[in-house]
A and B are shown apart, each in its own frame.
Chain A
Amino acid sequence: MDVLFYISAIVAILATVFMLTRLNPVHALLYLTVSLLAVSVVFYTLGAPFMAALEIVIYAGAIMVLFVFVVMLLNLGRHTIDTERTWVTPGMFTGPAILAAILVGEVSYLLARSGPRTPAAAVVGPHQVAMSLYGPYLLGVELASFLLLGALVGAYHVGSRRARGRTGVNGSDRVRIATGGDLVRTGADRPSGAA
């Protein structure tokens, strides 16, 4: 298991470095996905299969697909790569590198002080995760659900404002609303006129 841990940890680090240095946004996102998958394997080798599964389902499978979707929606062409080329310069990495070096120093100090890494005492299955989530951490779960509900209501408000026709209604939209047309189709995903 130790070997698996080190291999996947190295893969995660390399993938993250490549993610930072790629010029094409979709390639960068692919490297980030690989990095998340590697982190998932790290979780698995540390005895947390539930966390490993959730890492794939939520981060690699849902959030990253949304990112890819947005990048595709914007349909960034060749000129983005040129823009990125002017942005991604070696000098840009100095600040983050110094901060990361401080963290690396801290982690190695902690590791050196507490001796060699002890492997996970026991495998933490879904049952234990659920018991602690709905036991000592119940308040945290409730707060997270408040936040998500707030985000949901906010997203609905932002998404439905144009459909209700309060702002930025052009001719065709007004006709469609007047005739009781399908509100879904007048959303922002349908550029009207010359756009």
Chain B
Amino acid sequence: MNPVLLKIIVLVGILLVVLGLASGLIWLERRLLALWQDRYGPNRVGPFGLLQVMADMIKIFFKEDWIPPFADKWVFVFAPSIVMITVLLTFAIIPFTSVIQITDMNVGILFFLGMSSLGVYSVVLGGWASNNKYSLLGGMRAASQMLSYEVFMGLSLMGTVMLAGSFSLRAIVEAQQHMWFVIPQFLGFVLFFIAGVAETRRLPFDLPEAESELVAGFHSEYSGMKFGMFFVGEYLGVILISALISVLFFGGWLGPVLPPVVWIILKTLFFICFFILLRAALPRPRFDQLMSWGWKWMLPLTLANLAVTGAVVVAMRR
């Protein structure tokens, strides 16, 4: 087939699947949470309540899209789109299979880290532009939380990079032919997962939008589809981190019997469900606990992991 055509099909396919999955997750999350809390969840609209998502989408599109008169108008409008842009751009470097990948950059992991650090602007600017004290507090919490957790998010991946000898995600998957990196890099996996939860601002790290103290945090003033973009952006982030964990630590598309696409989807779905279980199971920490946990425990552990992995890699090469 024409390679350009193939690329376009892959690109559009990934975009549709990812966006579809992100909106489907709203239903999945509500059903799973309900299951774990001994109730049914949305089960009235369509089979198993699947059409609830459609109903919510129609509602959110027709809601009044209100910009507060005291807000900084242009920044307020622009902020929700940043999270969508950065997360969707990162999907370009994820190798879903050896064929289904938009581009294989030789600085793939760094591209992901760069995009995720740009994603912070969305929340911070959203909080600032709302010109509301609760939003501002949420935005400031987001800035300090994400800056702190980004530091060891990058460092926790460097053990994997050392073992594979490349920043390219495809090379990392191919280096896992014989053993998944979760075995030699178990600590790295745990640290990256925690940083990933903090990066997507999911419970227990959802302090920027803690309802019980900050109304709705950084998106208090948002309504309609602008709120919807923050909302879907969060689910896109969950999918992204889950896919990255499968690719970096669980061998990506590699697996016996089943076709590669099925393997990557199964692995990704497993981690998405784990994200949702975390929300159902864990309470929210206090903000200073969150910060000191990050700097006093996670960062030293990451550095230790890095030093030990480096020493082992050097010793093995001898």
> A and B bound?
yes
A contact residues vs B (CB 8 Å cutoff): 24, 26-27, 30, 33, 49-50, 52-54, 56-57, 60-62, 65-66, 68-69, 72-73, 75, 125-126, 182, 184-185
How far is B117's CA from A111's CA once the two chains are assembled, in angstroms? 36
- The interface bits of chain B over 105-130 (1 if a CB of A lies within 8 angstroms of the residue's CB, else 0) are 11100110111111011001101100
B27 at the interface (CB under 8 A from A): no
Using known A-B contacts A68-B128, A125-B106, determine if residue A185 contacts B114 with beta carbons closer than 8 Å: no
B288 at the interface (CB under 8 A from A): yes
A84 CB, min distance to chain B CBs, angstroms:
15
Are B143 and A57 in contact, with the CB atoms below 8 A? Answer: no
A42 CB, min distance to chain B CBs, angstroms:
15
Are B105 and A57 in contact, with the CB atoms below 8 A? Answer: no
Are B288 and A33 in contact, with the CB atoms below 8 A? Answer: no
B98 at the interface (CB under 8 A from A): no
Are A72 and B140 in contact, with the CB atoms below 8 A? Answer: yes
User: Top 10 closest A-B pairs, CB basis?
Assistant: A61-B117, A56-B114, A53-B110, A69-B143, A53-B107, A57-B114, A49-B107, A184-B288, A57-B113, A125-B106
Are A65 and B111 in contact, with the CB atoms below 8 A? Answer: no
B161 CB, min distance to chain A CBs, angstroms:
9
- The total of interchain contacts (Cβ-Cβ below 8 angstroms) comes to 82
B154 at the interface (CB under 8 A from A): yes
B167 at the interface (CB under 8 A from A): yes
The listed residue with most A CB atoms (<10 A of its CB), out of B107, B115, B117, B124, is B107
B192 CB, min distance to chain A CBs, angstroms:
16
Using known A-B contacts A49-B105, A62-B147, determine if residue A126 contacts B75 with beta carbons closer than 8 Å: no
Are A65 and B143 in contact, with the CB atoms below 8 A? Answer: yes
Are A65 and B140 in contact, with the CB atoms below 8 A? Answer: no
Which chain A residues border B113 with CB–CB below 8 Å?
53, 57, 61
Are B124 and A65 in contact, with the CB atoms below 8 A? Answer: yes
Which chain B residues border A72 with CB–CB below 8 Å?
124, 127-128, 136, 139-140, 143
8 A–B contact pairs at CB < 8 A? Answer: A27-B75, A49-B106, A53-B107, A57-B113, A65-B117, A72-B139, A75-B136, A184-B288
Which chain B residues border A185 with CB–CB below 8 Å?
288
How far is B292's CA from A52's CA once the two chains are assembled, in angstroms? 32
How far is B143's CA from A49's CA once the two chains are assembled, in angstroms? 27
B contacts with A: majority SS:
helix
A95 CB, min distance to chain B CBs, angstroms:
31
- On chain B, the number of residues with a Cβ less than 8 Å from chain A's Cβ atoms is 32
A145 CB, min distance to chain B CBs, angstroms:
13
Which chain B residues border A27 with CB–CB below 8 Å?
75
Are B288 and A126 in contact, with the CB atoms below 8 A? Answer: no
Which residue of A is nearest B143, CB measured? Answer: A69
B37 at the interface (CB under 8 A from A): no
**Which residues from 236 to 259 on chain B have a C-beta closer than 8 Å to any C-beta of chain A?**
none
The listed residue with most A CB atoms (<10 A of its CB), out of B118, B144, B147, B154, is B118
B150 at the interface (CB under 8 A from A): yes
Which chain A residues border B125 with CB–CB below 8 Å?
26, 30, 68
Using known A-B contacts A68-B124, A69-B124, determine if residue A62 contacts B167 with beta carbons closer than 8 Å: no
Using known A-B contacts A65-B143, A69-B124, determine if residue A126 contacts B167 with beta carbons closer than 8 Å: yes
Are A50 and B110 in contact, with the CB atoms below 8 A? Answer: yes
Are A54 and B143 in contact, with the CB atoms below 8 A? Answer: no
How far is B115's CA from A53's CA once the two chains are assembled, in angstroms? 9
The listed residue with most B CB atoms (<10 A of its CB), out of A24, A72, A184, is A72
Of A24, A50, A61, the contact of B118 (CB 8 Å cutoff): A61
Which chain B residues border A49 with CB–CB below 8 Å?
105-107
How far is B288's CA from A149's CA once the two chains are assembled, in angstroms? 24
How far is B140's CA from A175's CA once the two chains are assembled, in angstroms? 29
How far is B117's CA from A69's CA once the two chains are assembled, in angstroms? 14
Which chain A residues border B143 with CB–CB below 8 Å?
65-66, 68-69, 72
Are A33 and B121 in contact, with the CB atoms below 8 A? Answer: yes
How far is B75's CA from A60's CA once the two chains are assembled, in angstroms? 17
Which chain B residues border A30 with CB–CB below 8 Å?
75, 125
Are A65 and B288 in contact, with the CB atoms below 8 A? Answer: no
A130 CB, min distance to chain B CBs, angstroms:
11
